[in-house]
């Protein structure tokens, strides 16, 4: 049985020189990603909805960073909004950049080259 390898992307921030953030971008189950993108649209208190969305983000992306706070929901809540929003947007976009599957000939040789993922990104 094939097991998908974990893939992480390193992010850099022009506004925060020296900040190092790494997020898991694969494997992220489609259903989990779709549920995460829909979070925050339901009824309820804004802070509760944000904490739930941030908690799910932490669960899926498994952040690692060189900040003094832990990379958990409370740690995210202590960071600048622009940084967190940019990171979530960049993460979501990174997940969408999946390599194209290779078509195979009957002899098992790939007919085209796979797309490779960049290892470092800058959130907008």
State the pTM of this model.
Answer: 0.75
CB 23 within 8 A of CB 91: yes
Each residue's pLDDT tens digit, 54-89: 999 999 999 999 999 999 999 999 999 999 999 999
Three-state secondary structure call for residue 64 = strand
Name the token pair of 80: 């600048």
Each residue's pLDDT tens digit, 20-42: 999 999 899 989 988 988 886 66
Name the average pLDDT for the chain: 82
pLDDT band at 47 (very low <50, low <70, confident <90, very high): confident
The confidence score (pLDDT) of residue 48 equals 84
The confidence score (pLDDT) of residue 84 equals 92
> What is d(CA 111, CA 104) in angstroms, rounded to the nearest whole number?
6
Distances (CA, A) of 32 to 52, 64, 102: 13, 20, 25
For the chain, what percent of residues have pLDDT higher than 70?
Answer: 76
């Amino acid at each position: 049985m094939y097991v998908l390898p974990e893939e992480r992307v390193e992010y850099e921030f022009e506004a925060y020189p020296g900040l190092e953030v790494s997020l898991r971008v694969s494997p992220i189950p489609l259903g989990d990603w779709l549920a995460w993108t829909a979070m925050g649209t339901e009824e309820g208190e804004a802070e509760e909805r944000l904490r739930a969305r941030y908690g799910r983000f932490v669960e899926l992306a498994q952040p690692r960073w060189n900040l003094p706070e832990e990379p958990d929901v409370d740690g995210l809540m202590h960071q600048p909004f622009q940084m967190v929003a940019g990171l979530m947007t960049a993460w979501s976009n990174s997940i969408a950049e999946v390599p194209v599957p290779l078509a195979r000939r009957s002899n098992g040789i790939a007919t085209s080259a796979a797309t490779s993922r960049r290892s470092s990104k800058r959130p907008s």
